[in-house]
Amino acid sequence: MALHGLDRDGAPDPGLAKKMLEDIGGTWWNVYMGGPESGGSGWTPGLLKQYKDHGITHFLLSYVGRQSGHVSQLTVSQGEQDGAEACQLAAQFGFAAAGTPVCLDLEGRTFDAAPGASLDYAGGWCNAVRAHGFRPGVYSNPRALIPLHERASRPDWVWVASWIKHTADSGADPHNVTGMPDDLWSKTGQRAWQYAGTFGDGTCSIRGLLVDIDVADSGVLVSSGAAVTGQTEDPGHHPLLVAPEPFNEDHLRHLWHIVHTGAADQHQRQLQTLWIDFFAALALKPNPDAHEQRVLTFAQHVLHVEPA
Q: Are residues 8 and 55 in the same domain?
A: yes
Q: Do 164 and 47 fall into the same domain? A: yes
Which pLDDT score is estimated for 306?
Answer: 81
* pLDDT surpasses 60 at 308: no
Regarding whether 98 and 10 lie in a shared domain, the answer is yes
Sequence letter at residue 228: V
Q: Are residues 78 and 175 located together in one domain of the fold? A: yes
Q: Is residue 192 located within the same domain as residue 257?
A: no
C-alpha torsion angle, residues 251, 99, 64, 213 (rounded to 10): 180
Q: What average pLDDT does the structure give for the chain?
A: 89
The whole-model pTM stands at 0.76
259 and 165 in one domain?
A: no
State how far the Cα of 46 lies from the Cα of 20, in Å rounded to an integer: 20
287 band by pLDDT with thresholds 50, 70 and 90: confident
Mean pLDDT, to the nearest integer, of 235-262? 75
Q: What is the DSSP string of the chain?
A: -EEEEEE-SBPPPHHHHHHHHHHHT--EEEEEEE-TT---BS--HHHHHHHHHTT--EEEEEEE---GGGGGG-SHHHHHHHHHHHHHHHHHTT--STT-EEEEE--HHHHHH-HHHHHHHHHHHHHHHHHTT-EEEEEE-HHHHHHHTTSTT--SEEEEEEEEESS--TT--TTS-TTS-TTSS-STTSEEEEEE--BTTB--EETTEE-EEEEEEGGG-EE-TTGGGT--SSTT--TT-S-SS---HHHHHHHHHHHHHT---HHHHHHHHHHHHHHHHHHT-SS--HHHHHHHHHHHHTS-----
In a domain? residue 238:
no
- CA dihedral sign, ordered 161, 162, 168, 170: negative
Residue 239 has pLDDT above 70, yes or no: no
The CATH number of residue 181's host domain is 3.20.20.80
In a shared domain, residues 147 and 266? no
Identify whether residues 46 and 99 lie together within a single domain: yes
Which of the four pLDDT bands, split at 50, 70 and 90, describes residue 269? confident
What is the number of domains present in the chain?
A: 2
Q: Tell whether the torsion through CA atoms of 285, 58, 19 and 166 is positive or negative.
A: positive
Of 167, 193, 228, the domain-final residue = 228
**Claim to verify: residue 128 and residue 206 sit in the same structural domain:** yes
**Residue 283 falls within a domain, yes or no?**
yes
Mark whether 217 and 277 lie in a shared domain.
Answer: no
According to the model, what pLDDT value does residue 18 have?
Answer: 96
Same domain, 94 and 145: yes
Mean pLDDT of 110-125: 97
Does the structure show a pLDDT above 70 at 15?
yes
Residue 308 lies in a domain: no
Q: Which residue has the higher pLDDT, 111 or 276?
A: 111
Do 190 and 130 lie in a common domain?
yes
In the predicted model, what is the mean pLDDT of residues 23-30?
95
Please tell me which residue, 232 or 176, carries the higher pLDDT value.
176
Range(s) of the domain holding residue 90: 2-228
The answer to whether residue 97 sits within a structural domain is yes
Asked if residue 119 is part of any domain, the answer here is yes
Distance CA 234, CA 172 (A): 38
Please tell me the predicted confidence (pLDDT) of residue 226: 32
In a domain, 233, yes or no: no
What's the sign of the alpha-carbon dihedral 277, 283, 287, 288?
A: positive
Q: What is the pLDDT of residues 60-113, one digit of tens each?
A: 999 999 999 999 999 999 999 999 999 999 999 999 888 899 999 999 999 999
